[in-house]
């Protein structure tokens, strides 16, 4: 059996990476989406082991010390990370794995798995990104400005990725990511044969 491939998809808030990942999962049964672990409290409607694995800070720190996380980060005083065991198991079973994480985590993953593929989802323009963030209507002006500044910082890291996909048309962006995944998967198969 051919081992699966690890894909990291990043991009600023509002770029559409979550929607792209959802579409890929719906159309390919050989793809698995990693579920992150966090120490923050669940938000209304979030489901354990679907949206996140919600754990106490001590349990997260213990797993971190034991090497049980593929990557981790701290944001707003809460930890976030990717449990390693599930990823390793799925790769051995031949599944392609998507990690939807920020660039900090992406670069940590690349240190552990140098043959992973980093894909950055780019908004068509800063103006469009700002419109998407504002269009959510769920945050204060200050929070929107903070998200926009964070987005600009993430975009500045995009040249470190293997691929950049501009999401100016959702269907086209999904298809482009799908093409990248198939190309990289064929590369792995041809090396292993």
What residue segments make up the domains of the chain, in order of their start?
6-192
d(CA 142, CA 74): 21
Do 4 and 189 form a contact (C-beta atoms < 8 A)? Answer: no
Which CATH number applies to 6-192? 3.40.50.300
Segment 146-172 mean pLDDT? 93
Above 80 in pLDDT, residue 143?
Answer: no
What is the strand order of the sheet 31-33 is part of? Answer: 31-33, 96-100, 6-10, 117-122, 163-166
Please compute the mean of the pLDDT values over residues 117-137 and round it to a whole number: 84
To the nearest whole number, what is the mean pLDDT of the chain?
89
Q: 31: which residues sit within 8 A by CB, 6+ positions away?
A: 24, 25, 95, 96, 97, 98, 181
Q: Is 174 helix (H, G, I), strand (E, B) or coil?
A: helix
**Mean pLDDT over residues 40-45, rounded?**
87
pLDDT (0 to 100) of residue 69:
95
Judged against a pLDDT cut of 60, whether residue 31 lies above it is answered with yes
How much of the chain exceeds pLDDT 70, in percent? 94
pLDDT at 37 over 80: yes
Residue 75 bridge partners (DSSP): 78
* pLDDT score of 139 more than 70: no
Q: What is the pLDDT of residue 141?
A: 79
């Amino acid at each position: 059996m051919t081992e699966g491939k690890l894909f990291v998809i990043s991009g600023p808030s509002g770029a559409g990476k979550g929607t792209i990942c959802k579409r890929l999962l719906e159309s390919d049964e050989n793809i698995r989406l990693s579920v992150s672990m966090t120490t923050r409290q669940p938000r209304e409607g979030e489901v354990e082991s679907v949206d996140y694995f919600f754990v106490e800070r001590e349990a997260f720190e213990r797993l971190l010390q034991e090497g049980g996380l593929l990557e981790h980060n701290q944001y707003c005083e809460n930890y976030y990370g990717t449990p390693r065991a599930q990823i390793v198991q799925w790769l051995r079973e031949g599944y392609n794995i998507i990690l939807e994480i920020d660039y900090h985590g992406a670069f940590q993953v690349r240190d552990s798995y140098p043959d992973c593929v980093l894909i950055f989802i780019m908004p068509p323009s800063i103006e469009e990104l700002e419109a998407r963030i504002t269009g959510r209507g769920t945050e204060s002006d200050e929070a929107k400005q903070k998200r926009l500044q964070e987005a600009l910082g993430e975009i500045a890291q995009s040249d470190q990725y293997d691929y950049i996909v501009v999401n100016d048309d959702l269907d086209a962006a999904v298809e482009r990511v799908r093409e990248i995944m198939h190309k990289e998967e064929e590369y792995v198969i041809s090396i292993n044969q």
